[in-house]
Structure 1
Amino acid sequence: MVTLAIEPLTRDAFAPFGDVVETAGMTPLSINQGYAERYNGLASIDVAAEGGQVNISWFVASVRPSPIAIRLMERHPLGSQMFVPLNGADWLVVVCSDPLISSTYRAFAAKGHQGVNYARNCWHHPLLVLEQSSSFLVVDRKGAGDNLEEYWLDETMQLDFGAAAG
């Protein structure tokens, strides 16, 4: 059994896998006569391959049994996939550059104000939440073509929550 340490989610650490969607460090644009702020350019949405279109959906996720086992990775060859939490609860992100090589796996602790946009072809684990009925706004691709590839791991990994606390 491989145990995967969990590290904080930062733009630099996650850059090889896509975008961290957050407003920290950004300068907002004042809109609506000064009653609202707009943050532009939060993620690079990439869904146009093979005539794809933007799909906006709402996911409600459940907590997985503990310890959280990592058995499946997936990727989307025709488009990016963005998850933005709506309930403010912290959640987890697991990615890798090659599902066959355990040393390429990374686990991130995402704060409830952070989303991620997985780049096209980024291997990632399906949604991992820490609170029941966690809602997410999801922006991904709809259209023709096979946009899901799954890989079942030969060896189960689990997440090391001791590392996340430090």
Structure 2
Amino acid sequence: MRTAAPLPLAVHPLTREAFAPYGEVVEVSDAVRHFTINAGNTERYHDLANIEPGPDGRVIVSIFRGQPRSLPFTVQMMERHPLASQAFVPMSGKPYLVVVAPAGAPPAAEDLKVFLARADQGVNYATGVWHHPLLALEGVCDFLVIDRSGPGHNCDEVQLDRHGVIEAL
């Protein structure tokens, strides 16, 4: 039975370095390999995420339409995909929140880390990393999602014994 008050969760800017334990940030940056293609007309930012389809899986591309969340927001559950990675690339030009916890045992509220992603930043959750489902903020938001289709159970959900709360940005 949950008796503890919700744990306030700080919101951090999403950076490649801070997010590295959970996967990759998908963004245009001088820190990533890039080069000119198409007779000088296009700059290619190359190989930004380790897309892992897992055993007998195949990579699929979908669009998820997330409904906006209001703050304060209570984080009550987390999910993970034990067989494959899952990438989210925003398409609506709006910032959003990312809540993660390390791969492994089901997380506690104290394990959660919250990032504010800019409208031009995507994320690729590494295989097995705990994360909260979409947290759109400023209206309905579409995301291009690159993940796995294939045999086997690839989504675990857990309810947190103690909730976390995101009070403000």
Q: TM-score higher than 0.5 here?
A: yes
Measured after TM superposition, the shift of residue 27 of structure 1 is 4.9
**Cα distance in 2 for residues equivalent to 1:31 and 1:151:** 45
Q: In structure 1, how many angstroms separate the alpha carbons of the residues matched to 2:116 and 2:45?
A: 23
- Find the counterpart in structure 2 of residue 76 from structure 1: 81
The one of 148, 155, 165 equivalent to 1:141 is 148
Contact kept in structure 2, 1:6 and 1:160, CA below 8 Å: no
Counterpart CA distance in 2 for 1:101 and 1:155 is 7
Aligned to 1:54: 59
**Residue 120 of structure 2 corresponds to residue 121 of structure 1:** no
**2:137 aligned partner:** 130
Say if 2:96 is the partner of 1:91.
yes
1:63 deviation in Å?
0.8
Measure how far apart 1:28 and its partner are.
2.6
1:67 aligned partner, one-letter code: P
Q: Distance in 1 between matches of 2:133 and 2:14?
A: 17
- CA drift of 1:153 comes to 1.3
1:19 alignment counterpart = 24
Q: What secondary structure does 1:37 align onto?
A: strand
Kindly indicate whether residue 41 of structure 2 is the aligned counterpart of residue 35 of structure 1: yes
Calculate the TM-score normalised by the size of structure 2: 0.90
Shift of 1:88: 1.7
Report how far residue 101 of structure 1 moved: 2.8
Note the alpha carbon deviations across 1:1-22, whole angstroms, 9 max, x for none: 1110000111111111000111
C-alpha contact 1:78 1:147 (8 A) present in aligned 2: yes
- Which residue of structure 1 lines up, in the alignment, with residue 51 of structure 2? 45
Q: Quote the Cα distance in structure 2 between the aligned partners of 1:83 and 1:147.
A: 17
Please state whether the residue corresponding to 1:48 is helix, strand or coil.
Answer: coil
The aligned residue for residue 155 of structure 1 is 162
Contact kept in structure 2, 1:92 and 1:130, CA below 8 Å: yes
- Unpaired runs of at least 5, structure 1: none
> 2:109·2:160 contact (CA, 8 Å) conserved in 1?
no
Counterpart selection for 2:14 from 5, 9, 13: 9
CA root-mean-square deviation: 1.3
Shift of 1:37: 1.5
Secondary structure at 1:33's aligned position in 2?
coil
Distance 1:123 1:28 in 2: 30
- Tell me how far apart the structure 1 counterparts of residues 129 and 33 of structure 2 sit (CA, whole Å): 29
Query: Helix, strand or coil: the match of 2:9?
Result: strand
